[in-house]
Amino acid sequence: MDKRTLVDHTLESIQRTATKIAALPAEARPDAYDAAHHAYANAMHQLGQDNVAAGRWVETVMSAIRALVHEIDSASHPV
């Protein structure tokens, strides 16, 4: 898989995950974030990427998911 395809798949995954989490009630979100974190970390492990860069990638993806959930919430509940 080339880098462009990998980036496209990652962005699509972030959007899907954030949309699913945003649809959950607030009390269910911490568990959903944990599940997503484990899923992304396991994916990196399955790819043989168990290094610092892989950990940073997972944290970057999770930050993007959290930011997108926040944006979805803000759009759904404008102040």
| C-alpha 13, offset from chain centre | 7
Pair 32, 20: CB distance under 8 Å: yes
Q: How many residues does the chain have?
A: 79
From the list 43, 64, 65, the residue with the least C-alpha distance to 54 is 43
Specify the higher pLDDT residue, 60 or 78. Answer: 60
Mean pLDDT of the chain: 92
Pair 22, 72: CB distance under 8 Å: yes
The pLDDT tens digits for 40-71 are: 999 988 888 888 988 999 999 999 999 999 99
Exposure letters 7-18 (e unless 16+ CB within 10 A, then b):
eeeeeebbeebb
